[in-house]
Copies of this chain bind each other. A is one copy, B any other.
């Protein structure tokens, strides 16, 4: 990385004894300083070294969360909100010590308003749990980042994933948040109306703030009717450029595809090896279509026609649930299949997103950059949004490979920025991309972010050291 390490021992502060005593008195067994508990909360899915907090508290309600924040505030001691631990950029590492506020036991669906197509949940509710809960209602929550993340964490990182091309990201699908502010107050950012012009958009400000402005404890989400018909298609191409042109034309024609995912030939090879399938080892697109029977079929026919013009082969289409599931399993297992290519490896994932007209250039450039690597690499992603991930399989015990991976990531990010893109489409900044954020939006924009942070959290207790330097 091109910036000084945030992992400096002198930044760490031990737990103040009276804060520990107060938390213990209030939360009993739900307060822990056990090494195993701290270790569990000191790592995420990033390649960073484990960096445990000094203590962990498990909250059950917004009021309890507010009490923990207020106690930490009194001692000006760091507090890190924790959901499912599935973040990818070091968001929740306790680099300055601190108390981790674990919200995973805040896992109740508080109210389903089926007539309004809304649901209100506690922040620790997991994505799959929510859709399981909604099964009898005929409604679903579409955002699918892959991991079974918590809804609070998905808000905090502005998550998206495979369905975003049709349904948007967390930015578009949250109506209201309940938030504990740094001074331990509880606010609700909005009502449940679908739109509002009432004052500053605090909802969107907290979405993507990575726990640095407040602790999100409850969320009201938009829901969607389960479509009458869902179908899936897979098609392979002689080249990446032809696959990407197919996606671009699909978007430009306004075909409302629900998912459009790209897997490179290396990813398909990994899947074939892992799942004993026999897919053509070529650049491949996975589609999903939602609508009425007629409109889902019409979408599939349009996409097939576009794909054919671009040299698409082996177009396979499925509408029965079991066939769709089989077809998409390949995509869903892609990440795990890639990991198997190099046993014992650790995966580093890039996350650039560019205007869609630059997508083919961006992927081709990434491929050229990756071809210099000594370790296996794959490219896959949410190409309907211009977002893709290069997966770099490195030996976690070889610092040179880590360094090499960072260098390649740097190059891929700079290429995306040169195309008016972003260093992160959906994973967030965390610790990892603070340097890139400066390059992307400039010091003056970061200065505005800093002003917000300082005015919301003057003592810098909320997830300190993340997103930008104070």
Residues of A within 8 A of B (CB): 113-118, 157-160, 164, 168-169, 171-172, 181, 185-202, 204-205, 207-209, 213, 224-225, 227, 248, 251-254, 256, 291-292, 294-295, 298, 302, 351, 353-357, 385-387, 416-417, 420-429, 433, 436-437, 440-442, 444-446, 448-449, 451-452, 454-456, 467-468
Interface centre among A159, A181, A187 (most CB of B within 10 A): A187
B195–A385 CB distance below 8 A? yes
CA separation between A159 and B196, bound complex, in Å? 9
Nearest CB of chain B from residue A120's CB, rounded to whole Å: 10
Other 15 A-B pairs with CB < 8 A, given A201-B201, A454-B455: A115-B357, A168-B172, A169-B195, A187-B441, A191-B417, A193-B385, A194-B353, A194-B356, A195-B385, A195-B387, A197-B425, A198-B424, A199-B446, A256-B256, A295-B295
Are the CB atoms of A425 and B195 closer together than 8 Å? yes
Report how far A201 CA is from B200 CA in the complex, Å.
12
A292 and B114 alpha carbons, distance in the complex (Å): 29
User: In the bound complex, how far is the Cα of B275 from the Cα of A200, in angstroms?
Assistant: 40
Given A201-B171, A201-B207, A252-B115, A188 and B445 contact (CB-CB distance below 8 Å): yes
Nearest neighbor of A354 in chain B, beta-carbon distance: B193
- Nearest neighbor of A353 in chain B, beta-carbon distance: B193
- Is B444's CB under 8 angstroms from A181's CB? yes
Q: Which residue of B lies closest to A451 (CB)?
A: B455
A208 to B189 Cα, complex, angstroms:
14
Q: Which of B158, B193, B386, B433 contacts A421 (CB 8 A)?
A: B193
Interface CB pairs A-B, < 8 A, 12: A114-B252, A171-B195, A171-B201, A193-B353, A193-B422, A197-B424, A198-B422, A199-B208, A201-B207, A204-B204, A294-B295, A295-B298
Interchain CA distance A254-B295 in the complex, whole Å: 12
Decide: B427 and A197 in contact? CB cutoff 8 A. yes
Q: What are the residues of chain B within 8 A of A113 when measuring CB–CB?
A: 355, 357
